[in-house]
Each structure stands twice: as structure tokens, then as C-alpha cells.
Amino acid sequence: MAPVKNATLSGGLVAATVPSVLSGSSATLVHFLYQGNVNMPTTGGGTVTMMKFTADSVTLSDASDAINEGGVTAGPSSPTMALSGNVVLYATQLSGTLGPISLTLTPDSPLLATIGNVITAGQVTLTNVTTDQAMATADSLTYGPGGFAVTIR
């Protein structure tokens, strides 16, 4: 088994302790690269180990972010959600289907070090995507056609 890579944490980020799942019918990833694992501080005062990925862009179709607190699940959804420019994604789990292969990546997954950088060349599309405890930063975030866009400058 290949050793786990460690990555640096972008400053100022703190993970919520409330469970959340970001999902989509598909995710198009451009130059998606596994950077390693980070110990992310949490709002509860501890840390959680998360995988760190970078990309030029990530576009989710049928995007939904389900947040579960106190037995109530709520969250935004959109036909599309696009992150572009200097995308950094943190997650405790990333699952999806790449062609005929179903993948589930976690920070301690032996598969991560082996294939974590294989899906980086150009553009790939995963289907039936779920990402647990997802956190992301990017230069631009756009929700849905005709929806709203947020650009960070």
C-alpha cells in the first residue's frame, strides 16, 4: 500500500460538525488532482481528516447540498453548480462512477494514493457523485442556468 500524502491547509477554513452531503447526477472535473490529506479544524474544537483536491473547474449537474441538523435535513439545490478558477475541494469521502467503475475515496483509502492522480489528465466526468462534508473555495461559483453567480476578487 502506498503511503498517505499530507497536504497543507488553506488558511482560515473551519469545517462544520453538522453532517452534510453534496451530491449530483454527474460531476465534470477539469485537471482534478489529489493533493493529500489535511487535519481540518472543526467548529466543535477538534479536527477531522479530509482529502484535499485541486482543479481548474468542477461542474455538478442536479446539485444538492443536504445538511442534517437536529433530525432536520435542508439545503440548496440547483440544476447546475459550477466552481471555476483555483478550485480547492476538501471532503471526508468522495464517491462516484467512472465509466463502469464505482469508486469510493476516503482519507485512508489505499485506492486514493494509487488512482488519486489518474483522473487528472484533461477532463473526466463522474456520475452518481456524493461528497461527504464537502468544503470548497474557488474564484467563481455559479448556481443554475439563469441563476446567480458569485465571483470572488
**Segment 25-80, tens digit of pLDDT:** 999 999 988 888 999 999 888 999 999 999 999 999 998 888 877 777 777 778 88
What are the residues whose beta carbons fall under 8 Å from the beta carbon of 121, sequence distance 6 or more? none
HSE value, Cβ hemisphere, 13 Å, CA-based, for 34: 24
What are the residues whose beta carbons fall under 8 Å from the beta carbon of 98, sequence distance 6 or more? 119, 124, 126
* Separation of alpha carbons 44 and 149, rounded Å: 31
Q: How far is CA 141 from CA 82, 115, 133, in A?
A: 6, 27, 18
CB 89 within 8 A of CB 76: no
Quick: pLDDT tens for 102-152.
989 899 887 766 665 555 568 889 999 999 988 899 999 887 766 555 444
Q: What pTM, to 2 d.p., does this model score? A: 0.84
